């Protein structure tokens, strides 16, 4: 596996592969890799002949006061895992390779409609940062396919919209959320949970599964199910930001009962802010 922080080296390697007609699959990450990321890598290997993984903690998707400075950076351990998983190229650029002019969002492409509420309401500017960095990484790697996790469901939907809007010749593949045995979705931020909080954390997924089942069965109106779930989470000492039933493709609010839905939630538990979703 080649590990490089240099755009020139990335380019040279990619050009050689393209000349050989290799299908290139890209997995963008912020590092601190866990089994959820490794599931993306496995899918990537199945989808093409060369796998490129980026590790870059993107400053523009963190708001002031969020955990950019302390976000776990574990590049050497990440490198070993990726090497073992058969990744062909690890690209771990410095900030100035991604943002040569200024560390700021690219306003030439506004965040698509699907990225204007939910996470955006609680982390203003988050998707502008994500769209900026993913577009830049796509420009550099020019993959045939890029792989994203379903845990960040709204992010996945925003990236799909961006690829469609800009007519980028990239297929977007998604991989189901990887969970601990008790249901907690894997996340680098789970490390912020204390031991007692960790025991309470699976309530988020349990609540969302219940909401999805009730919505599918038409047991109550979406707004009622959302409100009941917020109450349930508060009882479990979460501080929920939102629980929201949406159409799984458009992320428009779900009307009455429906199929093809998703229930998305974000909630703080102690120092951690957890997000999760259930698709139905």
Interface residues toward ligand PAF, by CB under 6 A: 28-30, 58, 61, 130, 133-134, 152, 155
Nearer Cβ to ligand PAF, position 12 or 63?
A: 63
Report the distance separating Cα 69 and Cα 59, nearest Å: 9
Q: Compute the least distance from the CB of residue 155 to ligand PAF, in Å.
A: 6
Sequence-ordered list of residues with C-beta below 8 angstroms from that of 106, at least 6 positions apart, any chain? 131, 132, 135, 136
Nearest to 63 by CA among 273, 255, 279, 278: 273
Nearer Cβ to ligand PAF, position 130 or 204?
A: 130
Nearer Cβ to ligand PAF, position 17 or 26?
A: 26
Nearer Cβ to ligand PAF, position 28 or 240?
A: 28
Report the distance separating Cα 41 and Cα 51, nearest Å: 8
CA-CA-CA-CA dihedral for 232, 238, 240, 243, to nearest 10:
-40
Task: Quickly tell me which residue has 């351990």 as its tokens.
Answer: 77
Q: What is the largest CA-CA distance in the chain?
A: 58
Nearer Cβ to ligand PAF, position 31 or 222?
A: 31
CA-CA-CA-CA dihedral for 156, 222, 189, 34, to nearest 10:
-50
Nearer Cβ to ligand PAF, position 137 or 184?
A: 137
Report the distance separating Cα 74 and Cα 78, nearest Å: 6
Q: Compute the least distance from the CB of residue 148 to ligand PAF, in Å.
A: 7
37 catalytic per annotation: yes
Decide the pairing of beta strands 50-55 and 272-279.
Answer: unpaired
Q: Considering 37, 135, 198, 246, which one is annotated as catalytic? A: 37
Do 177 and 190 touch, CB atoms closer than 8 A? no
Q: Compute the least distance from the CB of residue 163 to ligand PAF, in Å.
A: 13
Sheet holding 89-91, edge to edge: 2-4, 89-91, 50-55, 24-29, 145-149, 171-175
* Cα→Cα distances 252→93, 94, 98, 157, 249, Å: 36, 37, 33, 12, 8
Catalytic residues: 37
């Amino acid at each position: 596996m080649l590990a490089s922080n240099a755009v020139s080296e990335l380019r040279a390697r990619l050009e050689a592969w393209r000349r050989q007609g290799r299908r290139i699959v890209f997995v963008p990450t912020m590092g601190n890799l866990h089994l959820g990321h490794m599931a993306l890598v496995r899918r990537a290997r199945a989808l093409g002949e060369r796998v490129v993984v980026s590790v870059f903690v993107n400053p523009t998707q963190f708001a002031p006061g969020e955990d950019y400075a302390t976000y776990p950076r574990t590049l050497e351990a990440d490198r070993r895992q990726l090497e073992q998983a058969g990744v062909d190229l690890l690209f771990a650029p410095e900030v100035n390779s991604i943002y040569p002019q200024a560390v700021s969002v690219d306003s030439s492409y506004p965040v698509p409609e699907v990225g204007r509420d939910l996470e955006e309401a609680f982390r203003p500017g988050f998707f502008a940062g994500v769209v900026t960095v993913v577009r830049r990484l796509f420009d550099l790697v020019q993959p045939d396919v890029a792989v994203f996790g379903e845990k960040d469901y709204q992010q996945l939907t925003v990236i799909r919209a961006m690829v469609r809007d800009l007519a980028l010749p990239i297929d977007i593949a998604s991989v189901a959320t990887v969970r601990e045995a008790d249901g907690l979705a894997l996340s680098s931020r789970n490390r912020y949970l204390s031991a007692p909080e960790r025991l309470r954390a699976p309530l988020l997924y349990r609540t969302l599964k219940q909401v999805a089942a009730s919505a599918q069965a038409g047991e109550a109106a979406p707004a009622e199910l959302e409100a009941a779930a917020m109450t349930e989470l508060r009882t479990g000492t979460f501080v929920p930001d939102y629980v929201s039933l949406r159409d799984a493709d458009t992320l428009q609010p779900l009307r009455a009962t429906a199929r093809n839905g998703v229930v998305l939630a974000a909630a703080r538990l102690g120092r951690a802010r957890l997000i999760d979703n259930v698709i139905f």
